[in-house]
A and B are shown apart, each in its own frame.
Chain A
Amino acid sequence: MTNFESSQSSRHFLSKAWFIEQKSLIALIVLIAVVSVLNEYFFTIDNLLNILRQTSVIAILAAGMTLVILTAGIDLSVGSILALCGAFAASMISLEIPAVIAVLVALLGGAILGSITGLVIAKGKVQAFIATLVMMTLLRGVTMVYTDGRPISTGFTDIADHFAWFGTGYMFGIPVPVWLMIFVFATIWYLLNHTRFGRYVYALGGNESATKLSGINVDRIKIGVYSICGLLSALAGIIITSRLSSAQPTAGMGYELDAIAAVVVGGTSLAGGRGYIMGTLIGALIIGVLNNALNLLDVSSYFQMIVKAAVILLAVLVDNKNK
């Protein structure tokens, strides 16, 4: 039993193993420290809350994406589900359907869209990349048809004001989207670490045939992760729509790649079976802080893309080295 204890202690706070495991957190702290020195406005409550709120949409998408990637899948359709469910919510609000009901229905819609993707992947044996690529294109098209290519305003009713709370409101001085982000990450963390479902997600990503042979319904797990991913995409869509008081048909374009980048920077393996949800949160924050810092430092948006790419590459290279 002595061995047992020593291996546990090797993960203790500030030990070498701890540093390796927490490298993305350390990178985030270093990044924040450096930018704080370079720009005095950066490390203010206002700006930090601003970063958190801006990050929340990508972070929520990335939370769902983490589940999918842990099963060795991928979901390219998150941006399109975001746009469609956002538009759907906006039109419900403009029809004066109570905000809570509109939100719940939009979330349900996202989950159903995700479960359809999952069904195609699990039962149709279509590769996740292809299935979700199809969904991405299809749902963007549906959104364009549904909105006729124009934004849908939520209107100027009381209900529209209630709805705006999701994107613009505050609770205890912290923006509602940030609370939603915290809630989402806490829930997924619980799912992954304290439920059977979570364990099966890791097992499925690690070795699908062994998981199947262990008497686990892998199809159900796959459908489950894509449903959750769809639901969270809808939530992100609600936040964006609520914040702008209107749904843009082009909302969320390219967000799937930002979400995947956050997951990868957070240390989750695209091969599946290995990764942490809290890593994803840190990954999303690194990308968020970087965007914010580059803006504050007056770096042109063209250069921002190059810097972002370099950071993502660096993160993945460091991750590979420590395997």
Chain B
Amino acid sequence: MKQPILQLTNIHKSFPGVKALDGACLNVYPGQVMALLGENGAGKSTLMKVITGIYSLDEGDIRYQDKPVRFNGPRDSQQAGISIIHQELNLLPELTIAENIFLGRENTNIFGAINWSVMFEQADKLLKRLKVKHKSSTQLSELSLGEQQMVEIAKALSFKSKVIIMDEPTDALTDSEVESLFDVINELRDEGYGIVYISHRLKEIFEICDDITVLRDGKFIAEKPVSSMDEDKLIELMVGRRLDEQYPRIESTHGTVCLEVKELYAKATHGVSFTLNHGEILGISGLMGAGRTELMKVIYGALARESGDIILNGQIINPRNSQQALASGIAYISEDRKGDGLVLGLSVKDNMSLCALKDLSTGWQLDHKAEATSVTDFIRLFNIKTPSMDQIIGNLSGGNQQKVAIAKGLMTKPKVLILDEPTRGVDVGAKKEIYQLINKFKAEGMSIILVSSEMPEVLGMSDRILVMHQGQISGQFNVKEADQEKLMACAVGKNNNGVAA
């Protein structure tokens, strides 16, 4: 067995209310590609941030080149020779390739002027090594995404890195770009670099990696050579057997069709069809970037539809904006509370009633009394912990903010309620309360779409489950036949179940 160049053992890291890493381990060997695998939220990103020193760790050891180390930040770790290439590239499109590579480390003379010729020469050498057919004086924005990735790698090489970590490097690449990336990775491996490859495309893992490390719930699960694995074994390791959290399921009375989506096409949605019954919870599973949020926003009218129909109770509605969707009876609760879910600077009351103000006013004028009454009702019903309804919502905890967001959607008395990651950033206690509320609405006959990255949540709450992969539905299950392995297989695009792709 080779000696690892970078060795993380028994890493612990907690955030308020969440244990993100609970004894995670990772070994990186020189001249080998290590795959790091796990579900969304398994702790992969947190572990990367611990390596580079963005997060300080609570407990555990990091050994690098046989010495214990602690990095104080990305700059520190980069100087030491550990480079990360993030999913979203950290490059400046307005600058040349060379300027991007040497940003902050420009070769200057004593007056502070840049030695352009030296810089271009060095950059050209790096590009040649990676077989990029551009001069380093080219502006970055002229490059394709794949080529930009190569620039990131060139930057890593320019630091004389010994360890290169790639986070979902192929997400935005075309097939031929993926191929040339793999060529480069193979070369780097032969030259003795230690590489960490994070991806949820299993096919690539088998193609390029030597070993795998699996994390689950922040815990180290296994380190195995790829040759000893197959896809099914991998999925089993990633998903594991989890002690079921308690999901208060209630059986649905099989209702009639409420919402029907037919052959829907949009920017990140490629021919999606499904139905949703009255009094049913339809779970939507899939990995990040599978196009779930985009699909929901198309149905809600917030993103443009290209073709296909959205039919509510037998009527084609095809909302062109959110007003129309709300008016027809579709409410959407965003996954991103801070970004487009709530107005954090306004009060609980103002946020909660925002969608429903029309019903709470006579003509122009707000009916403050009616507003206060219905907000107070919802605060009580949802058990929202706030000193008053005039409290600024940004001061509430994540769970209480989420309850306000859901109440906001419900105030419009929707027929279809779309909940996008309703328990993200919510503590365990509030989670359960939210589940109970969702079930309550279901029992009252509301049709609910539950988008979630947490498979146990989808399995525990839904009546039927759709799995999305690259903007399409790759699996459709009745909850009784579904398990995490099956969902994961569809989510990574291994299986197609149910619908013609």
Contacts and interface: CB of A to CB of B under 8 A. Distances in A.
A223 to B, nearest CB: 16
A195 B358 CA distance: 10
A203 B322 contact: no
B350 interface: yes
B355 A214 contact: yes
Interface stretch (A52-60, A123-131, A205-213, A291-299): A205-213
B358 A206 contact: no
A248 to B, nearest CB: 37
B340 A209 contact: yes
Contacts of B391: 7
A290 B325 CA distance: 52
B365 A215 contact: no
Interface in A204-260: 206-207, 209-217
B387 interface: yes
Contact of B323 (A196, A199, A215, A274): A215
B366 A3 contact: no
B151 to A, nearest CB: 31
Contacts of B276: none
A211 to B, nearest CB: 7
A4 interface: yes
B119 interface: no
A163 interface: no
Residue from A3, A8, A210 having most chain B Cβ neighbours under 10 A: A210
Contact of B345 (A197, A200, A206): A206
Contacts, number: 87
Nearest to B364: A195
Interface residues of A, number: 26
B354 interface: yes
Contacts of B302: 212-213
B437 interface: no
B12 interface: no
B346 interface: yes
A3 B332 contact: no
Contacts of B332: 213
A215 B387 contact: no
Contacts of B408: 214
B387 A3 contact: yes
Given A7-B391, A214-B355, A216-B323, A196 B366 contact: yes
B340 to A, nearest CB: 4
A321 interface: no
Contacts of A210: 334, 339-343
Q: How large is the interface on B (under 10, 10 to 19, 20 to 34, 35 or more residues)?
A: 35 or more
A217 B390 CA distance: 25
B365 A194 contact: yes
Interface string B321-365: 111011100001010000111111110001000110110010011
Interface string A254-280: 000000000000000000011000000
Interface string A1-45: 001101110000000000000000000000000000000000000
B174 interface: no
A241 B340 CA distance: 46
Given A199-B350, A212-B322, A273 B387 contact: no
Contacts of B342: 207, 210
B354 to A, nearest CB: 5
Interface in B350-384: 350, 354-355, 357-358, 361, 364-366, 368
A217 B357 contact: no
Contact of A196 (B325, B327, B339, B358): B358
A202 interface: yes
A75 B106 CA distance: 42
Contacts of B340: 207, 209-210, 212-213
Contacts of B350: 199, 202-203
B322 A206 contact: no
Interface of B: 300, 302, 321-323, 325-327, 332, 334, 339-346, 350, 354-355, 357-358, 361, 364-366, 368, 387-391, 408, 412
28 contacts: A3-B388, A7-B388, A7-B390, A194-B365, A195-B361, A195-B365, A196-B364, A199-B350, A199-B357, A200-B357, A202-B350, A206-B345, A206-B346, A207-B340, A207-B342, A207-B344, A207-B345, A210-B343, A212-B302, A213-B332, A214-B322, A214-B354, A215-B322, A215-B412, A216-B323, A217-B323, A273-B343, A273-B346
Interface of A: 3-4, 6-8, 194-197, 199-200, 202-203, 206-207, 209-217, 273-274
